[in-house]
Structure 1
Amino acid sequence: MVTDPVPLRAVGPPFRAMDPWGFTTTALLACVLFLFFVSLWNQGFKRRKLPPGPTPLPFIGNILQLDFKNLTATFSQLAEKYGPIYTLYFGTQPVVVLHGYNVTKEALIDQGDVFMERGDVPIFDDFSKGKGVIFSHGERWKQIRRFSLMTLRNFGMGKRTIEERVQEEAQCLVEELRKTKGQPTDPTFILGCAPCNVICSILFRDRFKYNDAKFLHLMGLLNEIFQLLSKPWSQEKDNPHSEFDLENLKMTGVDLFGAGTETTSSTLRYGLLLILKHPEVQAKIQEEIDRVIGPNRVPSIKDRQDMPYVDAVVHEVQRFTNLVPLNLPHAVNRDIQFQQYVLPKGTTIYPLLSPVLRDSKEFANSEKFDPQHFLDQNGKFKKSDYFMPFSTGKRSCLGEGLARMELFLFFTTILQNFTLKPVGDPNEISMKTSHTGFTNIPPSYQLCFVPH
């Protein structure tokens, strides 16, 4: 009798094909854990050499521990805990922060040859591509900075010709302000045109009327201006060691416009707002102007030596407004022993300006606006090594001389011709702005320019 064969039964649980999604999840989890431990080990290795600081999280570093609405306050709080030299991680990138005059001076002045590289900031690198004079590196930076200084001197920097251009622009500024007829005015646009026109007069040997369509276009589309400067460098394209190509030239022009326009404009706007808030300061300024210059003579930079109070006010405006509180990042160009720490080549350094300008030992009541910070007991102007709004060392602002001339002449000329009147109660004027990051931007406001 034929019977059907008995089917074989598998021993143990039935075989099931592995879920492909489960395998993928497991593999991803393994990779994440692997990268997690690699990151921890790598950061721990780096931290053994660098100054102390808050423990970073894998991949994101200390980003979550920073208040990006007020970075200066965050950095000061960290300095209280970790000291004047500490390390932060922006992602996996270590950044060494220098907090205070002594360590900043030691780095940028005493060891300036090592700390003169420019640190990497992605938002700036994407914009500049390492070109120009502000964000370039190494030999490129040396060539471009040397060229920029030489060219500015050839165009009259530090000479009477530059002063005459600033004086001319100050008078044009007065005429524009007269057109407001004492009515409430937002000064942002007008105060931006004045320093921009000074740069135009230096680079292009011409200035523009404030309502000129070309000038307004140039202010918005600066890149198109620098094509006018391409011809002098068409000999350099065949020199493989030269950094004077069109892209570098254009970005250098952008640097000069950006640094020479916005910073001066913002300082002027902050200064007028502070004077509105402190009417006693305005009264002293105008008394000194009336006594030294009078109502008709055009102010000159030579007047500064006879006007210590105005000079002190200009310095105090720059100190108090703290326009670039974090400074631009530096980097070391070789391994260096800095105090008791080792900083590897390429380490990004933030030599903060805010704690220097707001140092309470150098400036009594440093959080208060007070021109007496720059006056001695006899009312004479008093210099301070802590005054470094333009930074210091080899990477300091190359337009510092021009900016200081502009600020003195613009402030003096405006207050020679106008009395500033607030719109509303001066006691309610606020200096607060919505962001305090790389720069402090003055709040929007209105004022009246009443003929003096």
Structure 2
Amino acid sequence: MLAILVAVAVVLLFGFIWNKTRSRLTHIPGPSGIPIAGNALEITSCFKLISKLHEWMEKYGEIFKINIFGDEILVVSGALIGEMLVTKGSDFAGRPKIPTWEKVFKNEVHLVLRDYDPKLRFIRKLVHKGLRQYGEGMDKIEAITVTEIGKCLDKIDKLDGADFDPFTYIHHSISQVMNTLVTGEAVPDGHPMLNKAIDWDKLDGEIGQDPAFFLPAMEKMSFLFGEGKIKDYTDVMEFFIEHWRSYEATYDKENMRGLYDVIYKAYLESETDEEGVKISYNNVKYLMFELYGAGIITTHKAIYAFVHMMVTHPGIQKRIQAQIDDVIGSQRNPTTADKRKVPLLEATIHETLRYISHVPFALPHETKRETSLGGFAIPNKTQVWPFISGNHYNPKYFKDPLSFNPDRFLEHDGSVSHASSRRMLTPFGAGPRNCVGEVFARTRLFLFTASLLQRFRLLQPNEGKLDVLDPKREDYFTKLPNICPNFKIRAIHR
């Protein structure tokens, strides 16, 4: 049976590739690969993909091409990421069509995977409008976040120093912040939404490992991969959508409770932008699903890794806590106004995002017109990958990149280095397609980590020992975005 499936796959692929045009990127260097498959057999897992991209970057430079079953893809890093995403952001703002995901989202993608068209620009404006309802300076978002963090820390406090895995505690807390932003209220403890969000997160990471789900050329072979995972993913998505739809019965246009109401109102009132673009009811449902997931998945992974780093780098933890004690003390909650006053914590967050590089390359971009990059002519409709970890682990930009060193983001006077000196640190992307919730994510990262270290000393577990995280080890690449393997620690009240 397996031999038949493989034979069918080869025939499909051969026919698919036979109809493709000849190479349009002969002037750009890259690994040669083999007939039909190109370089596909060299990158059969996330670990192999990232390892090979680093290897090829060292050999060919900061722009090179790879071939995946006839699809030519440019991989760029270094200063070329800035040229691509910022200087020429509109040229590279497209997305290649990924048929598998269009099936999931009813023949239309809505935000992250959508091409950069008028509808996407309108959707991004609506999202920003929804976030602005929480006030200038994100005061209300801060209050919501601090409330949920407090509940989380109270639960950890009750463990009384016993060994525990912080994964679920952090995940539930971040999910509750998102629940409140979407609908205006958190769900009760024990609500199915909380553990369902964990199921979704894990499933999303597993799907991210499968090339059939994010490489258009591999879609022809999707039946050989995890088709069942798509069904599971769709089931989880419908669970969340049905929960949010229940709020439509109490919708009041004079009382916007959360992001769902803002997007739903735009649909009901047929709001348009200057180009006359409207959103559909499908946009309301699936856009919310994308926003909800984006607000949980990467933030949770960053905080989880930060906790790991504090336990395995106790000297850094003590230095941060000394600054927290001096600036905030123990009698009030941290606020975003404290960020610049606790520069070592802000620098450590920067360094955590660099070191874990949990999104090693950005989602595929596609050129919207003929353009150029690094002096090379780039045809229209060319797929391009910004190789983020290619910067983060490059000794050209970060000395001794595999050491965890927050001081690299501090000036001699102890202040946080200027943003211009961090231009190679791009965990949230840049340009027209930058993360729509970057400010929101950074707010939660600071408030959670500051509150955690204000209250607890994070220590090695009683049983076993936590080793320093190696972001190049294969067990770090079991899901995408990357997440460090599960671990246990102790949290002792200070």
Could you state the TM-score of these two structures normalised by the residue count of structure 2?
Answer: 0.78
Residues 62, 77 of structure 2: 8 Å contact kept:
yes
Q: Quick one: distance in 1 between partners of 2:479 and 2:385?
A: 13
- Establish whether residue 422 from structure 1 lines up as the match of residue 464 from structure 2: no
Which amino acid is the alignment partner of residue 236 of structure 1? Answer: S
Q: Quick one: distance in 2 between partners of 1:331 and 1:42?
A: 17
Q: Quick one: distance in 1 between partners of 2:425 and 2:152?
A: 28
- 1:123/1:426 Cα in 2 relative to 1: closer, same or farther (>3 Å)? farther
Q: Deviations over 1:1-23 (max 9, x none)?
A: xxxxxxxxxxxxxxxxxxxxxxx
Q: For structure 1, which runs of at least 5 residues remain unmatched after alignment?
A: 1-27
Equivalent residue for 2:390? 355
Residues 366, 384 of structure 2: 8 Å contact kept:
yes
What secondary structure, in the 3-state scheme, does the structure 1 residue paired with 2:477 have? coil
Q: Quick one: distance in 2 between partners of 1:206 and 1:293?
A: 28
Residues 85, 432 of structure 2: 8 Å contact kept:
yes
Which amino acid is the alignment partner of residue 74 of structure 1? Answer: K
Deviation at 1:426, TM superposition (A): 4.8
- 1:411/1:333 Cα in 2 relative to 1: closer, same or farther (>3 Å)? same
Equivalent residue for 2:37? 60
Q: Deviations over 1:42-74 (max 9, x none)?
A: 5644243x5222224343221012252422221
The residue correspondences of 1:12-411 to structure 2 (distance < 5 A) are: 44-48=22-26, 51-66=28-43, 68-70=45-47, 71-100=49-78, 102-121=79-98, 124-128=101-105, 129-137=107-115, 138-156=117-135, 158-213=137-192, 215-216=194-195, 221-227=239-245, 228=247, 229=260, 232=265, 233-236=267-270, 242-383=277-418, 384-411=422-449
Equivalent residue for 1:12? none
Q: Deviations over 1:135-186 (max 9, x none)?
A: 1122221221121112221234742111111111121111121122211111
What secondary structure, in the 3-state scheme, does the structure 1 residue paired with 2:189 have? coil
Which amino acid is the alignment partner of residue 492 of structure 2? Answer: V
- 1:296/1:212 Cα in 2 relative to 1: closer, same or farther (>3 Å)? farther
Q: Quick one: distance in 2 between partners of 1:427 and 1:201?
A: 34
Identify the range of structure 1 (230-239 vs 217-226) with the bigger mean alpha-carbon deviation: 230-239
Which amino acid is the alignment partner of residue 138 of structure 2? Answer: K
Q: Quick one: distance in 2 between partners of 1:47 and 1:214?
A: 47
Q: Quick one: distance in 1 between partners of 2:301 and 2:144?
A: 20
Identify the range of structure 1 (147-156 vs 195-204) with the bigger mean alpha-carbon deviation: 147-156
Which amino acid is the alignment partner of residue 249 of structure 1? Answer: V
Q: Quick one: distance in 2 between partners of 1:92 and 1:354?
A: 25
- 1:114/1:211 Cα in 2 relative to 1: closer, same or farther (>3 Å)? same
Deviation at 1:121, TM superposition (A): 4.3
What secondary structure, in the 3-state scheme, does the structure 1 residue paired with 2:394 have? coil
Q: Which has the larger radius of gyration?
A: 1
Q: Quick one: distance in 2 between partners of 1:76 and 1:224?
A: 43
Residues 68, 437 of structure 1: 8 Å contact kept:
no
- 1:250/1:157 Cα in 2 relative to 1: closer, same or farther (>3 Å)? farther
What secondary structure, in the 3-state scheme, does the structure 2 residue paired with 1:350 have? strand
Q: Quick one: distance in 2 between partners of 1:109 and 1:124?
A: 27
Q: Quick one: distance in 2 between partners of 1:115 and 1:51?
A: 17
What secondary structure, in the 3-state scheme, does the structure 1 residue paired with 2:384 have? strand
Which amino acid is the alignment partner of residue 175 of structure 1? Answer: D
- 1:81/1:51 Cα in 2 relative to 1: closer, same or farther (>3 Å)? same
Residues 326, 438 of structure 1: 8 Å contact kept:
no
Which amino acid is the alignment partner of residue 200 of structure 1? Answer: N
Q: For structure 2, which runs of at least 5 residues remain unmatched after alignment?
A: 1-6, 200-238, 248-259
Q: Quick one: distance in 1 between partners of 2:192 and 2:44?
A: 41
- 1:184/1:394 Cα in 2 relative to 1: closer, same or farther (>3 Å)? same
- 1:245/1:293 Cα in 2 relative to 1: closer, same or farther (>3 Å)? same
Q: Quick one: distance in 2 between partners of 1:337 and 1:381?
A: 35
Q: Quick one: distance in 2 between partners of 1:151 and 1:103?
A: 33
What secondary structure, in the 3-state scheme, does the structure 2 residue paired with 1:46 have? coil
Residues 428, 434 of structure 2: 8 Å contact kept:
yes
- 1:290/1:209 Cα in 2 relative to 1: closer, same or farther (>3 Å)? farther
Residues 24, 379 of structure 2: 8 Å contact kept:
no
Residues 112, 394 of structure 1: 8 Å contact kept:
yes
Which amino acid is the alignment partner of residue 234 of structure 1? Answer: L
Residues 429, 435 of structure 2: 8 Å contact kept:
yes
Which amino acid is the alignment partner of residue 63 of structure 2? Answer: I
Deviation at 1:108, TM superposition (A): 0.7
Residues 72, 437 of structure 1: 8 Å contact kept:
no
Equivalent residue for 2:481? 439
What secondary structure, in the 3-state scheme, does the structure 2 residue paired with 1:342 have? strand
Residues 161, 492 of structure 2: 8 Å contact kept:
yes
Aligned Cα root-mean-square deviation (Å): 2.8
Q: Quick one: distance in 2 between partners of 1:437 and 1:46?
A: 33
Q: Quick one: distance in 2 between partners of 1:140 and 1:212?
A: 35
The count of residues paired between Structure 1 and Structure 2 equals: 418
